[in-house]
């Protein structure tokens, strides 16, 4: 029989690993091995590396507002090792977070010094829930954004070396911390902030006043050097707006508070109020743990690591707000990318509150209630994320199918510009996708099939193209008019629904438009007696510019990747395009 001690250890193990297992399940079901958006800008670098003529500045150039030198090096190495399986970047993000979590646990363990283990475990489990939280779904599913996780890791490792490795000399600890600050600086622009927020940690290292001044001087010098290197040919994609704070202060403040509350709430006003509560709590703990005069920071104060981490999160969120606030708070609500940095503030508050409870020897019951509320919120958020990602998954998965048949996508108005175009879903500048696909094929990383079969009379029913025509006369479309078509589509050979329906005209063996199969179809589900077809309908709107002048016939198709063939849906639509 298991003893009470053994059962407790098993329960703790389950609680510790559950967030990571949930994340792995999420990634296993919803991640797709297809480059997305900014990733397509890396293919010219890959080509130059393959030819042996890549330079340092290929990696050092500004990306948006950032020098993502280290992420570019990591992604390039992974690309050549895996033939650019983008899921390798996602795995890399998970590894970064695992290391971050272990480092945080070690920092906390040193502070509690094997006392009050229940409190320590509660804080660690909450930290684990946040670090592996699905609310970061955009960063988890887009391997390119591993830089968010790497920036956090660099900060946490710097804190770890300074505060945990006290058996090392002060010089060694500062040297190791500086290496990680340097890596963070050239991962994201927010990484430069790590030098500043670590100043109290540098001062907290034991030593005489003269030694502390010397260390601080060297530390600030390294920060200045990093900034100077960063400034070399710095030409951001958008001009910075330094006066936005004075011009529209409430806009930035609201955005800032919303970003802070984003990991817990995804509704504007509640997110702002949550952010305000988190900020106020952090200011209280800052006062509580640093109420002694600053010059008395002779010995290690337990609150400093968490205050450092929280301050980094706050300043990072503020820098994001200055750059993005003009797009409105609603912009923050639809973007989960910024939650990764905001999560650090909540983690810092979890440990600061635990230290307060530990120091005061009371309020443990309140802490447990707080922990229970946090767990409930995070689980509700996880369910919300899974539901939303499941609904949008056809858009995500369609990229894979779209890339595979890129040779069959015409250079039409729709394919180049429509927000529903599967190429636009990969990158708004579709020429980048086409260029990237060519480079990938040259490097032998992907094969893009040609001479695929077009099955006009399939043996099974793959769906219908709705046709409202009651006469043999074609529908007339004039000038710049838009035209809508819809229908439903399934894959009877695999008992599923496809992600894409492709439209062609005449006898052309290429496609001028596509539709995402993702609309409710309870009627189809009932007729076919399967819940698998509950969202089998599709609809697409396109301009007459995508069609030739005169009469033509529009046909709808689905792609069968296993059989390497296009299968026609039932019905066709006759149209006539007239120019004014």
Distance of CA 150 to the CA centre of its chain: 13
Residue 187 has a CB neighbour count (10 Å cut-off) of 28
Per-residue model confidence as pLDDT tens digits over 438-466: 999 999 999 888 889 999 988 888 999 98
* Ramachandran class of 506: left when φ > 0, alpha when ψ lies in -120 to 50, beta otherwise: left
Per-residue model confidence as pLDDT tens digits over 48-86: 999 999 899 889 988 878 889 999 999 999 999 999 999
pLDDT at 181: 96
User: Who's near 408: CB < 8 A, 6+ residues apart?
Assistant: 452, 502, 509, 510, 511, 566
Evaluate the CA torsion angle 58, 61, 66, 67 in order and state its sign: positive
pLDDT at 237: 62
431 located within any domain: yes
Q: Same domain, yes or no, for 383 and 445?
A: no
CATH number at residue 543: 2.60.40.10
Dist. CA 131–CA 102, nearest whole Å: 11
Distance of CA 470 to the CA centre of its chain: 49
pLDDT at 313: 95
N- to C-terminal Cα separation, the chain: 86
Q: Same domain, yes or no, for 385 and 459?
A: no
Q: Quote the mean pLDDT of the chain.
A: 88
Distance of CA 527 to the CA centre of its chain: 39
Domain count, the chain: 2
397 located within any domain: no
Residue 293 has pLDDT above 50, yes or no: no
Domain boundary among 339, 364, 392: 392
Per-residue model confidence as pLDDT tens digits over 496-517: 788 899 999 988 899 999 999 9
As a whole-number percent, the residues of the chain with pLDDT over 90 amount to: 52
Cβ atoms of 117 and 157 closer than 8 Å: no
Q: Same domain, yes or no, for 364 and 443?
A: no
Residue 352 has a CB neighbour count (10 Å cut-off) of 25
9 located within any domain: no
pLDDT at 9: 81
Residue 54 has a CB neighbour count (10 Å cut-off) of 16
Task: Give 66's DSSP letter.
Answer: B
Dist. CA 186–CA 70, nearest whole Å: 6
542 located within any domain: yes
Q: Same domain, yes or no, for 469 and 526?
A: yes
Per-residue model confidence as pLDDT tens digits over 206-250: 888 888 899 999 999 999 999 999 988 877 766 655 556 566 777
Q: Same domain, yes or no, for 386 and 424?
A: no
Angle at 80 between CA 74 and CA 83, to 5 degrees: 120
Q: Same domain, yes or no, for 338 and 484?
A: no
Cβ atoms of 322 and 109 closer than 8 Å: no
pLDDT at 295: 44
Residue 179 has pLDDT above 90, yes or no: yes
1 located within any domain: no
- Is residue 205 classed as helix, strand or coil in its secondary structure? coil
Dist. CA 203–CA 88, nearest whole Å: 39
Dist. CA 329–CA 489, nearest whole Å: 38
Indicate the burial class of 397 (C-beta count within 10 angstroms; 0-12, 13-18, 19 or more): middle
Q: Same domain, yes or no, for 297 and 438?
A: no
Mean pLDDT, residues 177-194: 94
Q: Same domain, yes or no, for 349 and 462?
A: no
11 located within any domain: no
Dist. CA 79–CA 507, nearest whole Å: 39
Domain extent at residue 75: 20-392
Domain boundary among 365, 392, 419: 392
Q: Same domain, yes or no, for 409 and 373?
A: no
Q: Same domain, yes or no, for 363 and 434?
A: no
Determine which of 35-44, 328-337, 403-412 has the lowest per-residue pLDDT on average. 328-337
Angle at 428 between CA 424 and CA 434, to 5 degrees: 70
- Is residue 499 classed as helix, strand or coil in its secondary structure? coil
Q: How confident is the model at residue 379 (pLDDT cuts 50, 70, 90)?
A: very high
527 located within any domain: yes
pLDDT at 90: 95
Q: Same domain, yes or no, for 381 and 454?
A: no
14 located within any domain: no
As a whole-number percent, the residues of the chain with pLDDT over 70 amount to: 94
Residue 303 has pLDDT above 80, yes or no: yes
Domain boundary among 392, 415, 439: 392
Task: Please name the residue ranges forming H helices in 405-503.
Answer: 413-417, 422-426, 430-442
Q: Same domain, yes or no, for 368 and 457?
A: no
pLDDT at 62: 86
Residue 488 has pLDDT above 60, yes or no: yes
Residue 4 has pLDDT above 70, yes or no: no
């Amino acid at each position: 029989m298991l003893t009470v001690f053994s059962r407790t250890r098993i329960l703790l193990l389950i609680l510790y690993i559950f967030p990571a297992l949930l994340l792995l399940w999420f990634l296993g079901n919803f991640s797709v091995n297809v480059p997305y958006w900014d990733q397509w800008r890396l293919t010219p670098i890959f080509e130059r590396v393959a030819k042996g003529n890549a330079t340092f500045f290929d990696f050092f150039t500004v990306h948006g507002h950032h020098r993502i030198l280290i992420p570019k090096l990591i992604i390039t190495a992974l690309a050549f090792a895996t033939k650019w399986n983008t899921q390798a970047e996602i795995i890399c993000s998970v590894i970064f977070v695992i290391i971050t979590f272990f480092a945080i646990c070690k920092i906390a363990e040193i502070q509690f010094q094997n006392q009050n283990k229940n409190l320590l475990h509660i804080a660690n489990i909450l930290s684990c829930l946040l670090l592996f939280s699905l609310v970061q779904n955009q960063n988890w599913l887009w391997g390119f954004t591993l830089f968010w996780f790497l920036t956090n890791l660099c900060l946490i490792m710097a804190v770890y070396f300074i505060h945990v490795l006290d058996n090392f000399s002060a010089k060694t600890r500062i040297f190791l911390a500086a290496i990680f600050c340097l890596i963070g600086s050239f991962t994201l622009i927010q990484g430069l902030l790590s030098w500043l927020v670590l100043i109290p940690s540098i001062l907290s290292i034991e030593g005489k006043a003269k030694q502390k001044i010397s260390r601080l001087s060297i530390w600030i010098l390294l920060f200045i050097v990093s900034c100077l290197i960063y400034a070399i040919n710095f030409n951001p994609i958008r001009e910075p707006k330094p006066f936005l704070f004075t011009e529209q202060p409430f806009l930035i403040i609201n955005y800032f508070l919303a970003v802070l509350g984003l990991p817990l709430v995804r509704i504007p006003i509640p997110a702002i109020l949550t952010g305000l509560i988190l900020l106020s709590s952090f200011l209280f703990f800052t006062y509580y743990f640093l109420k002694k005069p600053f010059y008395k920071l002779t010995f290690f104060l337990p609150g400093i690591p968490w205050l450092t981490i929280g301050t980094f999160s706050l300043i990072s969120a503020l820098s994001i707000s200055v750059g993005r606030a003009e797009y409105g708070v609603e912009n923050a609500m639809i973007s989960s990318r910024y939650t990764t940095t905001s999560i650090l503030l909540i983690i810092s508050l979890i440990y600061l509150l635990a230290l307060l409870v530990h120091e005061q020897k009371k309020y443990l019951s309140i802490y447990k209630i707080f922990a229970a509320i946090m767990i409930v919120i995070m689980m509700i958020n996880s369910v919300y994320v899974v539901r939303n990602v499941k609904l949008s998954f056809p858009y995500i998965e369609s990229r894979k199918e779209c890339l595979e048949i890129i040779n069959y996508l015409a250079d039409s108005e729709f394919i180049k510009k429509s927000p529903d175009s599967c190429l636009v879903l990969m990158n708004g500048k579709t020429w980048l996708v086409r260029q990237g696909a060519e480079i990938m094929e040259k490097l032998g990383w992907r094969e893009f099939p040609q001479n695929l079969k077009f099955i006009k009379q399939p043996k099974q029913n793959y769906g219908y193209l709705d046709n409202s025509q009651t006469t043999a006369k074609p529908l007339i479309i004039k000038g710049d008019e838009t035209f809508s078509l819809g229908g439903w589509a399934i894959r009877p050979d695999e008992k599923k629904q496809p992600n894409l329906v492709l439209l062609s005209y005449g006898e052309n063996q290429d496609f001028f438009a596509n539709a995402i199969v993702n609309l409710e179809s309870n009627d189809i589900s009932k007729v076919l007696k399967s819940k698998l077809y509950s969202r089998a309908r599709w609809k697409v709107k396109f301009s007459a510019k995508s069609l030739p002048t005169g009469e033509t016939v529009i046909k709808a198709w689905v792609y069968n990747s296993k059989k390497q063939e296009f299968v026609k849906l039932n019905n066709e639509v006759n149209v006539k395009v007239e120019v004014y």
